[in-house]
Structure formats: structure tokens, C-alpha cells
A and B are shown apart, each in its own frame.
Chain A
Amino acid sequence: MIGLCDCNSFYATCEKLFRPELRNKPVVVLSNNDGCIVALSKEAKNLGIKRGDPLYNAKEQLEKNNVEIFSSNYALYQNISDRVMDVLKSLVGTIMPYSIDEAFFIMPQNIDVEDLRQTIVQYTGIAVSIGVARTKTLAKIANHVGKELPSGAFILQEEMEKDILKDIPVGEIWGIGSRRAVLLNQYGIRTAYDLTLKNDIWIKKQLTITGYATVSELRGIPMVNIDNPPLKSTCSGISFSQIRSEYKELEEAIACHCTNIANKLIKNGMNCQMISINLFTNRFLEDYIAPCAVIKLAEPTNYIPTLIKAGISVLKKIYKKANYKGCRVWATELTPSDSRQMQLFISEEEQKRIAKQDKLSLIVNDITQIYGRKSLTCAATNNMTKNDLMSREKLSPCYTTKWTDLPIVKI
């Protein structure tokens, strides 16, 4: 049987871990740049606050109900996620992480699912729920059921599948989006059980092969593979915490995002050959502009200085003075770094230069992994990182990753 372990209201739960006074209080977490609400504790959900609500719309309601507001603290969430995954792995063996807060696993036969859940909660301090069933898609459904139970865990046995699937609207099935749900409803298919009754040809025609995989899983036949697809493109960009209009200010920002992109590429073992830059002003104002341009690099690379240089050369082309609200950098035409297609007629010297760059990239990566992103940066970034460009007014301490930020215990 396949299990799915899912952290409950993960970001909000992380924020509460070292704040016991918030145990039963409503908490929300904001998106990058404090724009909108991305995560809520169950107390906040009960107040009717919705995921995706922009902060300025919800502000009054949040204040009225004394909701604790946090900027997103990914350093904290990633560290806690690693701990939950480690503990789960130590208890069940093989796990297949699916996102920062959920992982599939093969449920060992000799373990009680409620004990498993209890142990994870005790060891990490993070509430999780567990669903177990014949396939990943069914495990997702079992997890939904488990989340509502006091035990937080649910095993969906084969003989119960029919009854449970009759209660699941098609829109709630993992892999069926809201648009497909509307389509299915038009054909009178309302529940997951209805869907399992349709014939394969019809399903393939209406929902394509991915939808067919989902339906097979609902019938108990494992078909969904969650290996991460290779990275096709990557983007870094954000609204600035304040308006930037001078060329120099934008150059810093572009350099930061190019560094961020290079780091993502290095982490994924990829090179890119195309860099696009886009600046934008406030789109609600009359003089809205969003200049944009692309540059093709001579060869695929993830070398930070080359990417920064390329980004800046594009910026020079498109820059004119205006009140910019943000910028974006894209990297496309990605190829694995180990299969670099050399330009034709490349000289031996060039090859040596590239090999040197690769080596330097790895060393820089090692150093920044150990000493932090700011320990070694290109001068063009003015020693800022992507995070400095964002507004994160309500950031919590990095309790588990910085010695200066340890939670305090009164003794």
C-alpha cells in the first residue's frame, strides 16, 4: 500500500512551533514581498480568510481578529521540512517527497499508521496527517479523510473505496483541475466514483492520457509517477520593496536575479543559453511600461559572471528612466551541464577557459552553501540577494538555521 504524509497548514505550523502562545491562535503567512496570503492556520481558515486574498483586502479582518501575520520564512520552512522527511524516512524506509510538505512512501506492513503519525508529530513538533491506499491518487483521498479524523490517519481499504469515492466531488481529485471538473459536471459526472464508471476510450478522449492515469489510479491501478520532470525554464523576479528608477539600482536588482538563476541552474545541473529581462512599472497607472528583451548566449552556461553580464547588457538596451515597480529574469533553452554541446571549431584555450569556469562555479557554490549566500557574491549585486529586494516586514527569526536567532526559553 502507498502512504501519503502531509503536514497540516505547514507554513503556519512552522511559525507556531517556537511560539507556544500562538498554539490556538489564528496565523497567516504572506507570499514573497508580503503581497497576499499563501498559508493559514485552521483558526484563520475558520474566520473565513481565504488563501490568495491580497493583504490589503484582508487587513481589516486580520486586525479585528488579532490574526498573527508572518512574511514567508523559507529558510525555516525548508529546515523543518527536511526534519519531517528525515524522520519519516527513518521510520518507513523509502520515501518520495512530492512537495515541501508532503511525501509518498511505501507503507510497511508491520507498522501501525496511528503510531507512525504520532511518532512524527512527537519527534518534529509538526502536525501531519497520513492516508494509506492502493495508489497515490487514492492515498491523497485517504489523507483528506484522515485529516478530519481525531487520529489524523486513515487507511482506505479496497472494500471501502466505492463508498468513499461516492463522497468525493471530481474537482477534489488530485490531478483533475477545476476546468476539467466543470467539463465532467457537464456530462453529469459529479463524484470520483462516477468517473471510475466511464469507459477508457471516452476518458482518454476527454481527459487525455494524464486524466486516464488518474482514473486508473482511482480504480486501484498505480500509474502516476512523480519523478521530477527536468527543468525546462527558470525565472527569478519580484516587485521591489520600493520604487527603483535609476539605472544603477536596476543593475543591482538584475545582477541579484541573475545570481539567483545561476544558483538554481547549478543546483539542477543545468545550463541555459537564453536570458530574457523584463522591467515593469505600476500597471494601474497611465504611464505603464514593461520593456522586455532577450539575449542569446554564445554557449550554454550557468557561470554567474557570464549570466550577470548578459543580463546587464539586455538591461542597457531596454532601460529608460521610469518608476519601476519590479523586474523579472528568465533563463530558457536549458540543457544538462554534463552534455554541453561545444560550439564548432572551439579552440583548446576556450575549452580550458570553460573548464576553469565550471570549477570556479562549483567552488563558489560550496562556499556559499557553508558560509551563506552573502559570503561570496559578484560586486555587481552590491552584496544583496534576492531576499533584500523583497519587502519582508513580518519575518520571523530563522530559529533552526542561525545561532543568533535561537528561540528563547525562560528558565
Chain B
Amino acid sequence: MDSTIACGFPSPAADSKENSLDFNELLLKHKSSTYCLRASGRSLENSGIQDGDILIVDKSLSPRNNDLVVAEYQGGFTAKRLKIQGDNIFLHPECDDFEDIIISEKDSFSLFGVITGVVRTYRN
């Protein structure tokens, strides 16, 4: 498409042109290993994650103590704060109405990925 014909003085900033902010650059550090999941429930309320939020989950990161993670626990997905104390692993909720989940060896448990961001929109 042809753009408008410039007349008058050339912009003094033309040489300093940079691309606009790109949310992919901010939120998707590892595009191919990042999945989006939708949160449902209240157990992370105090961490700021609310019902309906979109969780950005990066599978390429190694989980560390105190990371917010998505885990597969007893045949379902759950999101909690990961606590590693010695050999013990806890899934810690961020809401007073919920209890810690202590992972025992006989549980079916695996980490799906680390939550690296949350997206919420207020008006569409």
C-alpha cells in the first residue's frame, strides 16, 4: 500500500525510530515451551492470581523453591506455590481456606511447568 506523501520538513526523530512494545517479548521468553492455561478457583488469591486469569506456564525452566507452578497431581492439573524443604515437597496455597498438599511417594505427581506471568483483562 502506498503511504501518504511527506511534504514539509522531515521528522527530526526519523533516525531514532524503534519498534513499539511487543507483549510477546515481555511474556513469551521461550515461545515453543510456553503454554497458556486458565485458572479456576481461589486458592492462590493472596498471591494475586484470581479465578479466570490466564497463566503463562514455561516448561523449559527448572522449578525452584517458592516458584508458582502448575503440577499434575492425582490425575488433574493444579497451580500452587512450590515449597522444597530438604527431601519434602509441598504445594502451598495462598489462601487461608486451603491446606498445604504434602507430596508423598505414592502420589501421582509431576511438575508441568513454572508460572512466569499472569494475564487479566478488565474490559474488552
Binding site for B on A (CB under 8 A): 18, 20-21, 23, 82-83, 86-87, 90, 122-125, 399-400, 406-411
Contact = CB atoms under 8 A, between A and B. Distances in A.
A86 B34 CA distance: 12
Nearest to B62: A122
18 contacts: A21-B75, A23-B75, A82-B32, A87-B33, A90-B32, A123-B30, A124-B32, A125-B35, A125-B59, A406-B38, A407-B37, A409-B37, A409-B39, A409-B79, A410-B77, A410-B79, A411-B39, A411-B40
Contacts of A86: 31-32
B7 to A, nearest CB: 28
B100 to A, nearest CB: 14
A87 B78 contact: no
A123 B60 contact: yes
Contact of B49 (A83, A90, A122, A411): A411
Nearest to B119: A403
Given A125-B112, A409-B39, A411-B49, A20 B32 contact: no
Nearest to A123: B33
Given A21-B76, A23-B72, A86-B32, A408 B37 contact: yes
A411 B44 contact: yes
B75 A20 contact: yes
B32 A123 contact: yes
Given A90-B32, A409-B70, A409-B78, A122 B37 contact: no
Contact of A411 (B36, B43, B59, B72): B43
A406 B54 contact: yes
A409 B38 contact: yes
Nearest to A400: B35
A87 B32 CA distance: 6
Instruction: Kindly state the interface size class of chain B when it binds its partner.
Output: 20 to 34
A411 B76 CA distance: 11
A125 B59 CA distance: 8
Contacts of B59: 122-125
A409 B43 CA distance: 11
Contacts of A87: 32-33
Contacts of A82: 32
B102 to A, nearest CB: 18
B96 to A, nearest CB: 15
A18 B44 CA distance: 21
Q: Which 3 A-B pairs have the closest CB atoms?
A: A123-B33, A86-B32, A21-B75
Contact of B38 (A122, A400, A407): A407
Interface of B: 30-33, 35-44, 49, 51, 54-55, 59-60, 70, 72, 75-80, 108, 112
Nearest to A85: B32
A407 B77 contact: yes
Contacts of B43: 411
A90 B30 CA distance: 11
Contact of B55 (A20, A23, A400, A409): A409
Nearest to A25: B75
Given A21-B75, A83-B33, 6 more contacts: A87-B32, A123-B30, A411-B44, A411-B49, A411-B79, A411-B80
Given A87-B32, A408-B40, A409-B55, A122 B75 contact: no
Contacts of B76: 20-21, 410
A410 B40 contact: yes
B32 A122 contact: no
Nearest to B36: A406
Nearest to A406: B38
A225 to B, nearest CB: 27
A411 B41 contact: yes
| Residue from B31, B35, B39, B49 having most chain A Cβ neighbours under 10 A | B35
Nearest to B75: A21
| Residue from A21, A124, A411 having most chain B Cβ neighbours under 10 A | A411
A23 B37 CA distance: 18
A411 B70 CA distance: 9
A160 to B, nearest CB: 33
Contacts of A124: 32-33, 59
Contacts of B39: 409, 411
A5 to B, nearest CB: 14
B60 A122 contact: yes
A409 to B, nearest CB: 4
Contacts of B79: 409-411
Contacts of B35: 125, 399-400, 407
Contacts of A407: 35, 37-38, 77
A408 B38 contact: yes
Contacts of A408: 37-38, 40, 77
A88 B18 CA distance: 32
Contact of B77 (A83, A90, A400, A409): A409
Nearest to B78: A410
Contacts of B42: 411
